[in-house]
Amino acid sequence: MDRYDAMRVFARIVERRSFTRAAEDLGLPRATATEAIKALEARLGVRLLQRTTRHVSPTLDGEAFYGRCLQLIADLEDAETAFAGTKPRGMLRVEVHGTLAGHHLVPRLPEFLAAYPDIELHLSEGDRFVDPVREGVDCVIRVGVLRDSDMIARQLGVLEEVTCASPAYCAGRGVPRSLRDLADHSMVGFRSSATGTVMPLEFTVGASLRTMMLPASITVTGAETYTAAALAGLGLIQAPRYRLARHFASGALQPLLEEFPPSPSPVSILYPRAKQLSPRLRAFIDWATTAIDLR
């Protein structure tokens, strides 16, 4: 194995914190990855990785070498792509919320993959905080106000949010016509995966935003369960309109208090600040910022 391939193996092991997962990512036998690191450490004369039966982590020398490896790998990929006249290629890992992926991203992917046929795209779904470097993810697409992080963020657009409930719920509790009417209502609590707290309902009143906590007999952490609870008549919810459109069309849910809408939710693509963009990641980000239609 040449030095470039050994650096790729080392970088992936640092990112995945596992010889086995890194070898699987790169399509190599685990023994080949192990021998590559042994040879690399012998050539450099330093220990790059701390190994236990359950955990792999870089040493201080390993952290420093990892940063240099990323730069060298990205530079070589750029050079090969530019001078060989080839399009970006290789595995690209994107973490995205499942409902957002199914509605806004996946339907447009054929055009991206047709433009870049040598890119192999892996989509993982979730809404928890992700450390791209540690988890081997190239970029993350997230909905909502971003927490502080070292990642670079580019906003793709915003999603219109709406308040709603089921007709059965409204038949029993009444249709709220003003925010004062909410004193007689309850909500389905949505617990943030980032903070662990239940998020209040939001209402735009003129130029200001009001938040309200209503009684909640159930709290959830998943978007699908959140909607299902509203369909079951368990309370008011607020969610992106695109996710509820079919339920509005069927009459299973009805929009409420539309003159006092929740604040729209930004959608952003995030990637590590310290990581030089590979040609395939740059191609995906450039495509996503123009191709994803958030209406």
142 and 282 in a single domain? The answer is yes
Task: Give the model confidence (pLDDT) of 238-281 as tens digits.
Answer: 999 999 999 999 999 999 999 999 999 899 898 877 555 778 88
25 and 66 in a single domain? The answer is yes
Lowest mean pLDDT among 144-153, 187-196, 231-240: 144-153
* Residue 35 reports pLDDT greater than 90: yes
Q: Among residues 133, 28, 131, 122, which one has the least CA distance to residue 70?
A: 133
Report how many domains make up the chain: 3
175 and 245 in a single domain? The answer is yes
CATH number of the domain within which 181 lies = 3.40.190.10
Of 52 and 171, more confident? 171
Of 42 and 120, more confident? 42
125 and 171 in a single domain? The answer is no
Q: The whole model's pTM is what? A: 0.69
pLDDT at site 68:
83
254 and 285 in a single domain? The answer is no
What are 80's two structure tokens? 């090969």
What are 206's two structure tokens? 């003129």
Range of the domain at 208: 161-263
* H/E run at residue 135: helix 132-135
Domain boundary among 55, 84, 113: 84
Task: Give the model confidence (pLDDT) of 276-287 as tens digits.
Answer: 577 888 899 999
Q: How far apart are CA 228 and CA 282, in angstroms?
A: 37
94 and 217 in a single domain? The answer is no
Backbone angles phi, psi at 193, to 5 degrees: -70, -20
178 and 259 in a single domain? The answer is yes
CATH number of the domain within which 25 lies = 1.10.10.10
31 and 60 in a single domain? The answer is yes
143 and 183 in a single domain? The answer is no
* Residue 212 reports pLDDT greater than 70: yes
216 and 168 in a single domain? The answer is yes
Q: How far apart are CA 258 and CA 292, in angstroms?
A: 26
215 and 287 in a single domain? The answer is no
